[in-house]
């Protein structure tokens, strides 16, 4: 088991990931779109909100469980869907799902997983598993993926709506990462400089594929062929009618991910979805997109309790989680932190991350004088109305 005695927060996991991964691979998960302004703003948005704690309160007993879709979560966070996790650790999706089951929180499997949805479900029995769907042009493929998720026992279907365009990620362009890592002298040197990663991920096992698509696509099923399908067949025409058709097909809980506009929140609720996830894809897609945390108050107030609101992008501390819940979010989703944690340490790293976040949530909750998360509210927050050199913030 790895030594986590000096791993106290997400930044420590990030440091371990940087030491384990070749630089282009680390940049792939770390970077954002274009000039990475949205990426940076996802973090600084949290700094513009501070706490007004209550201290004359008995907090000797505290509970951070939340109920979502009629079932308890031991903590108010889930692991977000991420593709290409096999670049960080062999069978990383299984490691994450098992850690989430043990911690009592949901795990979301990406369409772009290197491990099939059936294998993940078999490896993490009893867990709260959700499947994230990228919608393709071929409706037969979409129907098949949805039916397979239902047959495998996934509790919820999460439809991502903000990635129909291919983003401009300049770090990846400079590093020569497209469908795969180009064999340039610099990249070869970067890989050889990380011999443990080279053995763990590349040399000791077959090269991974996009396992969920392997049985859906006719013709070659090499990684390159499946990746070409994944990129070229995304449904740019996805609209409200498509969402309603998926609502009719899927009998479980349905969530829509990628909401940043209150009108979209209303349209999703009107289509019968069970929840929405505010997301700018971790700052990886649209440069200049608002941070989900910035638009959270408007959207929570807009849907007014009709459906639960979750969000991702930029969460690194338990205090970030508490701020989102105090504004009205039901739970949050952890993306990059889980990718850092699985790198080089697998399930043990993810378990330590979840325990660390749970401890931080508990600590902040206690400082704020809240015995349960239901006691959180906006009265405990101080909102900055001005940023230096700017007009009032959205919060």
Annotated catalytic residues are 281
Side-chain-facing half-sphere of 85: CA atoms under 13 Å? 34
If you count them, how many residues does the chain have?
A: 395
Task: Give the SS3 label for residue 362.
Answer: helix
DSSP assignment of 182-226 = ---HHHHHHHHT-HHHIIIIIISSPPP--HHHHTTS-S--SHHHH
Separation of alpha carbons 170 and 213, rounded Å: 27
Q: Which helix (H) or strand (E) is 26 found in, with range?
A: helix 23-30
- The answer to whether 149 and 245 have CB atoms below 8 angstroms apart is no
Separation of alpha carbons 75 and 112, rounded Å: 26
Tell me which residue of 344, 289, 315, 243 sits closest to 1, measured CA to CA: 344
Dihedral through CA 341, CA 344, CA 349, CA 353, nearest 10?
-20
Q: What is the CA radius of gyration of the chain?
A: 20
Separation of alpha carbons 208 and 112, rounded Å: 11
Tell me how crowded residue 289 is: count the other CB atoms within 10 A of its CB. Answer: 23
């Amino acid at each position: 088991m790895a030594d986590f005695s000096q791993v106290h927060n997400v930044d420590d996991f990030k440091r371990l990931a940087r030491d384990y991964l070749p630089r282009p691979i680390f940049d792939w998960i770390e970077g954002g779109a274009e000039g990475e302004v949205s990426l940076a703003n996802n973090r600084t948005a949290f700094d513009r909100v501070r706490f007004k704690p209550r201290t004359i309160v008995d907090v000797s007993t505290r509970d951070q469980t939340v109920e979502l879709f009629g079932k308890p979560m031991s903590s108010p966070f889930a692991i977000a869907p991420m593709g290409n996790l096999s670049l960080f650790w062999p069978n990383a999706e299984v490691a994450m799902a098992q850690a989430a089951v043990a911690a009592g929180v949901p795990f979301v499997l990406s369409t772009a997983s290197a491990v099939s949805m059936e294998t993940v479900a078999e490896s993490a029995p009893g867990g709260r598993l959700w499947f994230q769907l990228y919608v393709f042009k071929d409706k037969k493929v979409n129907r098949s993926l949805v039916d397979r998720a239902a047959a495998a026992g996934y509790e919820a279907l999460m439809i991502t709506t903000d990635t129909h365009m291919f983003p401009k990620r300049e770090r990846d362009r400079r590093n020569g990462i497209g469908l795969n890592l180009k064999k340039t002298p610099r990249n070869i040197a970067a890989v050889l400089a990380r011999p443990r990663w080279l053995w763990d991920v590349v040399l000791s096992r077959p090269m991974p594929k996009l396992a969920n698509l392997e049985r859906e696509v006719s013709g070659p099923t090499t990684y390159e062929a499946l990746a070409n399908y994944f990129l070229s067949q995304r449904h740019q025409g996805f609209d409200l009618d498509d969402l309603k058709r998926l609502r009719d097909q899927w009998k479980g809980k349905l969530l829509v991910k990628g909401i940043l506009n209150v009108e979209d929140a209303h349209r999703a609720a009107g289509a019968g979805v069970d929840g929405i996830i505010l997301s700018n894809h971790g700052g990886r897609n649209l440069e200049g997109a608002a941070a989900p945390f910035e638009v959270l108050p408007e959207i929570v107030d807009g849907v007014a309790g009709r459906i639960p609101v979750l969000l991702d992008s930029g969460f690194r501390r338990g205090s970030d989680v508490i701020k989102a819940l105090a504004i009205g979010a039901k739970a949050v989703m952890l993306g990059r932190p889980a990718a850092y944690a699985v790198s080089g340490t697998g399930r043990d790293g993810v378990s330590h991350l979840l325990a660390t976040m749970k401890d931080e949530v508990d600590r902040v909750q206690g400082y704020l004088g809240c015995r349960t998360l239901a006691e959180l509210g906006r009265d405990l927050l101080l909102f900055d109305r001005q940023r230096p050199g700017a007009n009032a913030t959205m919060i």
